[in-house]
Structures are given as structure tokens and as C-alpha cells.
Amino acid sequence: MTTKRTLGLAVAQMGPVHLSDTRETVVRRLVEMMRDAKGRGAEMVVFPELALTTFFPRYWMEEAEAEARFFEAAMPNAQVQPLFDEAKKLGVGFYLGYAERTPEGTRYNTAIIVDRAGAIVGKYRKIHLPGHSDHKPDAPFQHLEKKFFEVGDLGFRVFDTMGTRFGMCLCNDRRWPETYRVMALQSAEVVVLGYNTPSLNIHWNEPVHLRTTTHLVSLQANAYQNGIWVAAAAKCGSEDGHHMIGSSAIVAPTGEIVARTLTEEDEVICVKADMSLGEHFRQHVFNFAKHRRPEHYRLIVERTGAGEPLV
């Protein structure tokens, strides 16, 4: 019989962060939400992608200016240390997205997992970078992740902390099934992620409602098909006139949304996540060792002439 294990899992959605907002102001908001989450029984709090700044890839600027204004050369640093201190004081772990500049000068869209003692136990650098690197002066805003960030070099890994196996990703990664499958094959139990998703797609005329629909479908389908919990935190609302979707959510291994934000402001949602629920799905429905046959995929591809084998 599977032993029941639970995790107090919270998502701390953020409302807008404007160009004029300081790191200190933003960190105070994060600390306040962490306290709120702790009061609801949270042991792990998920903050958004690029949580410390506005979504700066929407603006055309030189890389040097972006580095000076929006990137973190160390983590933690003096401005963000209060969040780490509060985590240690409360005994709460957290996930945080930020813009990282390495000592060698390489720039990444990065996320970390911090344990209850305030120590970094895992790092991820975004792999699926959306957008473009060239200037599009006729667009209502830019989406310059390919200009400001390098493709992540750490892969999709799983980290053991707080008695749970955590995987993590960032924003556009959530739309790719291999993101979750690679971590599920490493026995991930929970995948945590942050996102900043514009309501307007500058590349094609995508109906606005699809931005939220496809976001939720991606979370739900991958949670179910991999037997994992998924916790996704938005930074949303109108940042200096540029709107981003909310709909932060916690999804169970059943594919059901068990908590979802109602606003586009700072808002905390929290559930007691039953880890044994995912174990049931991984043992009896999606038992990779028992039922998954990659060699058959190869045969299908080869026999149909559908291109190079996938596995």
C-alpha cells in the first residue's frame, strides 16, 4: 500500500512590476506573500519567472543596458537576501525566477529552488526561448528573449528536497511535452514553473482567449500524462500598459485544476498536495517501465518513412 505523503504547495502570483519599481519594493511584496502562504500551511512557494523586474525583453535596448538594470550577478544578493532570510525564519522553501548574469558574462533566464534553510538546492536555465533577436519597430512591443538570453545549459533535472522530488522549468518550456517527460523519467513528483505571457501575440493573429486556454491545457495534459503535480505562477496584469495573462494554477496528477487565481494582482493560492496520488498514476496508468516501449516508436517511424527515428 502506498504511504500517504502531503506537501503544502503554494503559488504566489504577482501583479505588475513596472519599470519604476525597485528591487527592494518587489522583494517586500514577495516576502509578504510568503508569509501569507505560510499562514495557509505552505511548505513550498512558487514565484513567477523574472519575478524581480518588469518583463524587460519587451523593450529594445543594448545588452549592456539590460545587464545593468535587470540582471543579477549573484544570488542571493543584498537586495534579495531578505527573501532568503524570511524563508529560513518561516521554514518555507521557494522557487524564484530571475535574470542571471554569470561571472563569465553569460546571460540566462534562470530559476532556482531554495530549501527551508534558505539554501539554493537547484538551478535551471530556460531552454525554450521564444520570440526574436532582431528589432521589430512596427510591433506594439518586442519579445527579445533570444537577444538577451542564451539557451539554458543545465538541462531538465530533478532535485530532492523537503522530502519531495522537484523538477522545474520556465514559461514557454511548459508548452513542450518533452519538458515534463524528461523530468518524469527521473521520477519527478512536482514540477514548478513561473511565466510572463503577453496577452497579445505579436507574431500572428492569435485570439486572446487562446493564450489562457492553451496555457491551462498544457499544464493539465502534462500533469496527467506524467503523474505529477504542476504549480505555475504568473506575473500578470498591465505592466506600464503591456498586459499579461494571469490564471496561475495548481494542477493535480488527475489533470484537474485544484486551485486557480481569480485576479491579475498579487494573490496566493495553496493546496495540501497528496503525493501518493501521483504515485498511483505512475504505478498503474503511466508505468513507464512496464508499459512504455520506445523501440516500437522507432519501428513505426522507420516503417512509415516519417523521417528520422524519434528515440
Which residues are catalytic, by number? 49, 126, 171
In this structure, what C-alpha cell is assigned to residue 66? 539590460
Nearest to 34 by CA among 75, 91, 109, 72: 91
* Coil vs helix vs strand at 145: helix
The number of CA neighbours under 13 Å toward the Cβ of 200 is: 11
Q: Quick count: other Cβ atoms within 10 Å of Cβ 128?
A: 17
Q: Quick count: other Cβ atoms within 10 Å of Cβ 36?
A: 17
Q: At what angle do helices 177-184 and 208-226 cross, to 10 degrees?
A: 20
Strands (E), the chain: 6-13, 44-46, 93-101, 107-114, 120-125, 158-161, 164-170, 190-195, 229-234, 237-239, 242-244, 249-251, 257-260, 267-274
CA distance 75 to 79: 10
Quick one: DSSP state of residue 248? -
The answer to whether the bond into 177 is cis (omega within 30° of 0) is: no
283's enclosing H/E stretch is helix 275-284
- Alpha-carbon torsion, ordered 177, 179, 185, 186, to 10 deg: -160
CA distance 181 to 109: 21
In this structure, what C-alpha cell is assigned to residue 231? 504549480
